[in-house]
Structure 1
Amino acid sequence: MPPETSTPRFPRSSPYWPMISHPLLRRVLPGLAVSALGDGMALIAVTWLALQLAPSDQRGTWTAIAVAAYTLPSAAGTMIFGRHLSGRSGAQLATWDAILRAAALAAIPAAHLVGALSIGLYVALLAAASLLRSWGSAGRFTLVSELLPQRHHLPANAVLGIIGDTATIIGPPLAGILISWAGPVWVIAIDAATFAVLALTYRLAVPAVERQDPTETAASRTAGFGIIRHNRPLLGLLALTFGFLLLFGSFYVAMPIIVTEDLHATATTLGLYYTAFGAGSLLGGLATRYLHRWPLWPTTIGIVVGFGVAMLPLGLDTPVGLSLPAFALAGLIWAPYLSTSMTLFQRSTTTTKLPQVLAANSAVTVLAVPLGTMLGGPLTTGIGARQTLLLCAGATIALGVVAAGLALLRREPSATDNDPPLAGSATDRLPHPDVPTDSGAVRR
C-alpha cells in the first residue's frame, strides 16, 4: 500500500497528535502541566488556609470570600486592561498572567514568614493574583487558534482540559499530605513556583510576536462584549454557562463544611472528593474526541442536565461510598463542556479579535463561581450545607430544561440536527448570528 494512503498507527492516529506533536505547543505543555498541578493543590490550600485564618464564627463567610477573591477580580481586569492588551498574541497574554500570579501568590508565604499574614491581607493577595486570569485563559485558547487549523481545535482544547483534569486527580490528595505535614501556606508557595515555571516556559518556548492589527489599535475596552452581544447563539451560550457555574459555586463552601462538621474528617477526605471529580473529568476529557459527530448545542445542554442529576447524592444524606462515585460521574459529565464552548467561540471570530471575545466571555463566566460561592456562604449558614447542595443540583437540572425549551422554540422548522458545514478558516469568516456553530471538535 502506498505510504500516502496507509492508515497511520497510534499515536499518530490519535486526534490529539497535532497538539502534542506541534513544535511550539509541545514545548509549552510541560509548563502547563506543572502549573495545573500547582493549581490542583491550591484547590485545597486556598480554602484550608482561609479556614485557619478566619475567626471561628465566620469561617463559612471568609472561606467564600477567599475563593471568590481568587477569581472575581479577573472580571475587572478584563475591563481595566482591555485597551492595553488588545492585539497581543496568545503567548504574551498567558505569560503576563503567569508572572502576576507567581508574584502575588509568593507574597502570601512571605507575609506568613514575617508574621504579617491576616485574613484581610490574604484575600487582598488572592485578588491581586487573579487580575489577569481572564486574559491568561484567553491567551491559552488563542494560542491554539493561532497555531493549529480549525479542524484540530476541539481535540486541542480537550488536551488542555485533560491536563487540568489529571492535575485535579493528583493535586488535591498531594495537597492534603503536604498540608498535614507543613501547612496550607506552603502549598500556596509551591503553586506560586509553578506559575513562575509556566511564565518561563512561555518566554522560552514561543517566539515573541507582536500581533497587532492596525485596525484594532483603538479597540474599546468592551469590544469583546459587543461581538458576543450581536451573536445570539454565543449570547445564549454565555448565559447558560454563567448559570451553570453560578449554581456550582456553592460547592466550594458547602463541601468543606460537610467534611469538617458532618463527617468530622480532614483535608485528605476533601481531597478525595476533588480526586474523584478529577478522575471522572479525565475520562470525560478523553471521551471528548468522540463528540465531533454530535450536534454540540444539544450536547452542551444535556451536560448541564446530567451534571445536576449526578450532584443530587451530595445534597442527600448519602454515605461517602455513594457520594464519591456520584461526584466522579459529575466530573465525567462536566468534562466536555469547556471544550465544546471554547470551540464555538474559536469558530466565531478572527484570531485578532478572539482574545477580546474570550476575555469578555471569561470576565462574565468568572464571576459566576465566586458569586455562587458568596451566595453559598449565607445559604449554608441559613439552611445547611447538604440542603444548599441539594437546592443547587435541582436548580441546575431546571436550568438545562429551560435552555432546552428555549433552543427548541428558537430552532427554525427547516433546521437539521447538525450545523451546516463550515468552509474556510476561522480567520476569514463570521458565522451567521442565528446559526449556532456546532460541528467539529473541543475542550472549562
Structure 2
Amino acid sequence: MTPAMLLPYRPVFGQPVLRRLLPGLATSALGDGLALVAVTWLALQLAPDGQRGTWTAFAVAAYTLPGAAGTVLLGRWLGGRSGAQLAGWDATVRAAALGAIPVAHLAGVLDVGLYVALLALSSLLHPWGSAGRFTLVAELLPQRHHLAANALLGVFGQAATIVGPPLAGLLIAWVGAVWVIAVDAASFAVLAVSYRLVVRDREAAAVRDRAAPAGAGPSRTSGFRIIARDRSLLGLLSLSFAFFFLFGPFYVAMPVHVTDDLRASAGTLAAYYTAFGVGSLLGGLLTGHLRGRPLRTTLAGIVVLFGAALMPLGLGAPVVLSLPAFALAGLIWAPYQPTATALFQRRTGTVDLPRVLAANGAVTVLAVPLGTMLGGPATAAFGARHTLLACAVTILALGLVAAVSAARPGPGAHNTEQTGPAGPHDRPGPQTTGPHDRPGPHDQPEPHDRSARVDVPDRVRPGAT
C-alpha cells in the first residue's frame, strides 16, 4: 500500500476520536468475518437430521433480517440518540446475545431453536448501529472527508471477508464452531468498550446536544417519512434497493453455474468469491480518491460498470476470462455503499441522519435476500447461465436509467448538494437541513459536486409500475 493511496485517509486517522475507535472497529469486522462460516456451521451441527437446510437458512436470516423490524419497532426510542450511543448499544447487544450462545452450550441447553433466537436478538439493533457509525463520522469530520471515512470503515469489512473465512475454518477444526461464535462476541465486546472509553463524557454530551431535537420524540417511522418527502433520498433508496435485489440471484445461480455449466469444483467457486473479495478490498482503498467527483453520477456509473463486469459470466466465458471479470466486479462494487452513504450525509443533517440511515438499512437489508429467493425459481426455470445474464443486463439497464436521470438537471439542482455542517469543524448546533431548508453561509457544495440528486424514474422504484 503506497503513501499516495493512503493520502485521502490521513484526515480520518488524524481525528482523535475516530483514530482511537478504529482498532475496535477492525476487531469487530474480523469477528463478523469469522461468523460468515461459523454461523452456518453451528446451525448444521445443531439442526436435526433432514432439516439442516431449513435451519441453516433460518440462522443466516436471523443474523441479518430482524434489524429491519428493529428499525421500525425501536424508532421512537432510538431516533434522537447520538451516533456514538447507537453504535455502542448495538455492539453491546451483539456481544451479549452472541456471548449467550457458548454460555448456553456450556449449560447444556443450546438447541437450534435457542440458537436462532439468540442470533435474531444479536441483529435487532444492527441498522441502528450502522447508522450510528456513519452519523458519528458526520458529527466528527467536515463534509469533504465523509467519503474517505465511509470507505475506510468499509475496507475493514472487505478485508475481513478475505481473512475471516479461512481463519474460521482453522478455528472450527481446532476448538469448534461454538467457540468461534464466542470470539465474534468478544470482538463486539471490545468495540462496545471502545465506544465507552473513547467517546468521553464531554464529547458525548456535545453530540447529544446536537442530536436531541426539542419537543416530542421521533415516531417509529420518521426516517421513512423523511426519505419519502425528499425525492433525492427516495430515488437513492430506490436505486440501492433495485441494485442489491438484482444481485441477489447470483448467490443461487453462481454455485449452479460452476457445478453444472462449468463442470468445476467447489474450489473454483471459492476462487470466484476470493477474487471478488480481493477486488472489493482494492476498490475500497481506491474509494477515497473519488472525492470531488459528482456523487450522483458516480453511483450511476458504478451500477453500469458492475453490470458490464458481470456479463462474461452470463455469456458463458471460460474461467480464465470470467474470474478476472468477477474480480473487477468486486472492485467496482466496493465504492457504491460509501458513496451512497456520503450522499445521505450531505442531504440530511445530523439531527435526522440516524433515523434516515437506519430506515435505509432496514430496506436495503431486505433487498439481497428477496433477490436470492427469486434466484431459486429463476435458475430452475431458465438455467443458471441465463439467470446470470438476465441479472447482468438488468443491472446495466438500471445504471443507464440512473445515468440519464443524473444527467437531467432539475429545478434547483445546483443547490442539491448543500447541507448543514456535519461536525465540529463546521458551524455547531442542531442541523436539520433538507431540500426545503435555506442554506447558511457555510453551506457550500464541494468543487465538481454539482448535484446530489438521485432522481430515479418511478419505473425502477420497488413496487412501482
Which bracket does the TM-score occupy, shorter chain normalised? 0.7 to 0.9
| Residue 20 in structure 1 maps to residue 13 in structure 2 | yes
Q: How does 1:222-371 map to 2 (within 5 A)?
A: 222-255=221-254, 263-265=264-266, 272-315=271-314, 320-371=319-370
Q: Deviations over 1:17-41 (max 9, x none)?
A: 1111211111100000011111122
Alpha carbons of structure 1 residues 156 and 186: separation in structure 2 relative to 1, 3 Å = same
- Helix, strand or coil at the partner of 1:16: helix
Distance 1:311 1:12 in 2: 27
C-alpha change, 1:92 and 1:154, in structure 2 (3 Å) is same
**Deviation at residue 85 of structure 1 after TM alignment:** 1.1
Aligned residue type for 1:342: T
8 Å contact kept, 1:230–1:433: no
Q: CA deviation at 1:146?
A: 1.0
Q: Aligned partners of 1:51, 1:189: CA distance in 2, in Å?
A: 17
Match of 1:4 in 2: none
Residue in structure 2 matched with residue 73 of structure 1 by the alignment: 66
For residues 72 and 154 of structure 1, what CA distance do their matches in structure 2 show? 27
- SS of the aligned residue for 2:266 comes to coil
* d(CA) in 2 for partners of 1:66, 1:181: 23
RMSD (CA atoms): 3.5
1:129 to 2:128 alignment: no
Alignment CA distance shift 1:421-1:389 (3 Å):
closer
Distance 2:52 2:256 in 1: 9
Q: Give the Cα separation in 2 of the matches to 1:257 and 1:79.
A: 36
Q: CA deviation at 1:276?
A: 2.2
Is the aligned partner of 1:141 residue 2:134?
yes
Aligned CA distance change for structure 1 residues 327 and 109 (closer, same or farther; 3 Å)? farther
Percent identity (aligned): 64
- Aligned match of 2:409: 411
AA matched with 1:220: S
Matches within 5 A, 1:41-56: 41-51=34-44
Offset at 1:290?
2.5
Which residue number in structure 1 is paired with residue 460 of structure 2? Answer: none
Partner of 2:198: 205
Structure 1 equivalent of residue 461 of structure 2: none
Which digits, 9 at most, give the CA deviation of each residue in 1:190-226, with x for residues without a partner?
A: 2122111111111111124251534154211111112
Give aligned pairs, total. 427
Contact 1:61/1:377 (8 A) holds in 2 = no
Partner residue of 1:7?
A: none
Partner deviation per Cα, 1:40-59 (whole Å, 9 max, x = no partner): 22223334444555577666
One-letter amino acid of the counterpart of residue 243, structure 1: A
2:156 counterpart of 1:163? yes
Kindly indicate whether the alpha-carbon contact (under 8 Å) linking 1:100 and 1:129 is maintained by their aligned counterparts in 2: yes
Per mean C-alpha deviation after superposition, the further-off stretch among 251-260 and 222-231 is 251-260
Return the letter of the residue paired with 1:29: L
In structure 2, what residue type is equivalent to 1:74? G
Per the alignment, residue 3 of structure 1 pairs with: none
CA gap 1:260/1:97 in 2 versus in 1, 3 angstroms: farther
Does the CA-based 8 Å contact 1:311-1:327 persist in structure 2?
yes
Consecutive unaligned residues of structure 2, counting only runs of 5 or more, are: 423-429, 438-444, 453-465
Alpha carbons of 1:423 and 1:215: their partners in 2 closer, same or farther (altered >3 Å)?
A: closer
CA contact (8 A) 1:64 1:374 kept: no
Paired AA for residue 24 in structure 1: V
Alpha-carbon separation, structure 1, partners of 2:240 and 2:314: 22
User: Residue by residue, what CA displacement relative to the aligned partner does 1:136-176 show, whole Å, maximum 9, x if unpaired?
Assistant: 00110011111111121111111111222222221222223
Which stretch has the larger CA shift, 175-184 or 130-139?
Answer: 175-184
Name the amino acid aligned to 2:449.
Answer: S
Question: How big is each residue's C-alpha offset from its partner over 1:287-344, in whole Å with a ceiling of 9 and x where there is no partner?
Answer: 2223223222121012112222223444565555544423321110011111111111
Task: Note closer, same or farther for the CA distance 1:387–1:62 as it changes in structure 2 (3 Å cut).
Answer: farther
Specify the code of the residue in structure 2 equivalent to 1:224: G
Q: CA shift at 1:91, angstroms?
A: 1.1
Contact 1:28–1:201 under 8 Å retained in 2: yes
Report the CA distance shift for 1:13/1:40 in structure 2 as closer, same or farther (over 3 A).
Answer: closer
| Residues 183 and 246 of structure 1, relative CA distance in 2, 3 Å threshold | farther
Moved more, 50-59 or 12-21: 50-59
- The aligned amino acid for 1:265 is A
Select 2:435's aligned residue among 432, 437, 444: 432
SS of match in other structure, 1:365 = helix
Q: Deviations over 1:371-429 (max 9, x none)?
A: 22333455456655555444433332232233334445x5349968xx77748624656
1:152 aligns with 2:117: no
Distance 1:183-1:423 versus aligned 2 partners, 3 A rule:
closer
Using structure 1 for the length normalisation, give the TM-score: 0.83
Partner Cα distance (2:351, 2:97) in 1: 29
Offset of 1:63 from its aligned partner?
Answer: 4.3
Cα deviation code 1:57-83 (max 9, x no counterpart): 666655444332221111110111111
2:346/2:417 contact within 8 Å kept: no
Partner in structure 2 of residue 37 of structure 1: 30
Counterpart of 1:6 in structure 2 is none
SS at match of 2:146: helix
Is the CA contact (8 Å cut-off) linking 2:64 and 2:120 kept in structure 1? yes
One-letter code of the match for 1:430? T
Cα distance, 1:246–1:273 mapped onto 2, change above 3 Å: same
**1:150 alignment partner AA:** Q
User: CA contact under 8 A between 2:5 and 2:286: conserved in structure 1?
Assistant: no
Question: What is the SS of the residue equivalent to 1:411?
Answer: coil
Q: Residue in 1 aligned with 2:169?
A: 176
Distance 1:257-1:28 versus aligned 2 partners, 3 A rule: farther
Structure 1 spans left out of the alignment, 5+ residues: 1-9
Residues in 1 aligned to 2:160 and 2:135: alpha-carbon distance in whole angstroms: 22
**What code does the residue aligned with 2:289 have?**
Y
Measure, in 1, the Cα distance between the counterparts of 2:101 and 2:345.
36
Amino acid paired to 2:115: Y
